[in-house]
Amino acid sequence: MIIDPNNLSPRETYAYLSGAVAPRPICFASTVDAEGNVNLSPFSFFNVVSGDPPLLAFSPLLSGRDGSPKDTLNNVRAVPEVTINIVNHAIVEQMSLTSTAYPSGVNEFEKAALTQVQGEVVKPPLVAESPVSFECKVDQILTLGDGPMGGSLIIARVVRIHVHKDLFDEQGVMDIRALDLVGRMGGADYIRAIPEALFEIPKPVRSLGIGIDGLPPYIRNSTVLTGNNLGRLGNVERLPTAEEISKLAGNPGVKEALTGGLEQRHRLAQAYLERGETELALTVLMA
């Protein structure tokens, strides 16, 4: 099915975009107007866009009804400062409440019973309940569309970072599992990053994987191994030597697989891959 967005309404296009590009991290953007009135709004069109300089970006959409700008956009144009506060599961319902279209001048901190904390550098307050908050100076505001559902990209430079102390492990590293983050899906759906939902993939940052095309044809053309399985195998820096295969072939599971057919061997290799035992998987496949 091929869809031309020119044949859709802005809301219909938005439904495809927000449904497919997910899960998305969620932030609270806290801003003030020229008179100092505070506004707090949630955004899931949000992400980190640079490490040096440290930049975050989020996109307030214009009203789908009349194309009018949100208070957040008006505020950062008047006072180019913002605090960006990460939303986790503990405050996700309060976050949802602040998305209500309250009149200008209404303080969403009060509506959602969230606590304002003054930062060190910028005027807009932090959300005390947020696990991580960033004080930011607005670097750029890019206008991306001027009609209903049109966006503006606000690029904000981080000048201070606030992290709750109980999020650090014994080594002083921030524990991402303790953050208990949530993500925005399409419609009214969200997702929670609970430990059971997390999984690790070896990152090829300091290594040069051989790639799936570097695997023998009888492995990469397997009718059993999935694309994920092949991706894990392609992440190895080299294929095992005959000596290494011989040494690992003494494993009881490998011995049993060698007496069976090709499919049995590939299924055993798949089981090893799913347990993170890549060397044994390759041994089963290549012995």
Among 163, 197, 231, the domain boundary falls at 197
Tens place of pLDDT per residue across the chain (287 aa): 999 999 999 899 999 999 999 999 999 999 999 999 999 999 999 999 999 999 999 999 988 788 889 999 999 999 999 999 999 999 999 999 999 989 988 999 999 999 999 999 999 999 999 999 999 999 999 999 888 888 999 999 999 999 999 999 888 899 988 999 999 998 899 999 988 888 888 777 677 899 999 999 999 999 999 999 999 999 999 998 888 888 777 777 677 777 778 888 899 999 999 999 998 899 889 88
Same domain, yes or no, for 178 and 237? Answer: no
Domain final residue, candidates 167, 197, 227: 197
pLDDT at residue 204 in the model: 73
Instruction: Note the pLDDT of residue 65.
Output: 80
Which of 197, 232, 258 terminates a domain? The answer is: 197
- In-domain check, residue 110: yes
Q: Are residues 15 and 122 in the same domain?
A: yes
Same structural domain for residues 133 and 271?
A: no
Question: With 0-12 CB in 10 A as exposed, 13-18 as middle and 19+ as buried, what is 116?
Answer: middle
Give the C-alpha separation, 270 to 197, whole Å.
Answer: 20
Residue 206 lies in a domain: no
| The pair of three-digit structure tokens given for residue 189, joined into one six-digit string | 């759906």
Taking the C-alpha atoms of residue 164 and residue 237, their distance in angstroms, rounded to an integer, is: 39
In a 3-state reduction of DSSP, which class is residue 14? helix
Q: Is residue 45 part of a domain?
A: yes
Predicted local confidence at residue 199, as pLDDT? 84
Q: Is residue 119 part of a domain?
A: yes
The answer to whether residue 255 is domain-embedded is yes
Distance CA 23, CA 87 (A): 13
How many Cα atoms sit within 13 Å of 253 on the Cβ side?
17
Are 231 and 168 in a shared domain? no
Q: Three-state SS for 267?
A: helix
Cα 9 → chain centroid? 28
| This prediction's pTM | 0.87
Q: Name the residue range of residue 242's domain.
A: 212-286
The token pair that represents 45 in the structure block: 């069109």
User: Per DSSP, which regions of 35-125 are E strands?
Assistant: 38-43, 46-50, 55-58, 81-86, 116-117
User: In total, how many domains does the chain have?
Assistant: 2
Q: Is residue 205 part of a domain?
A: no
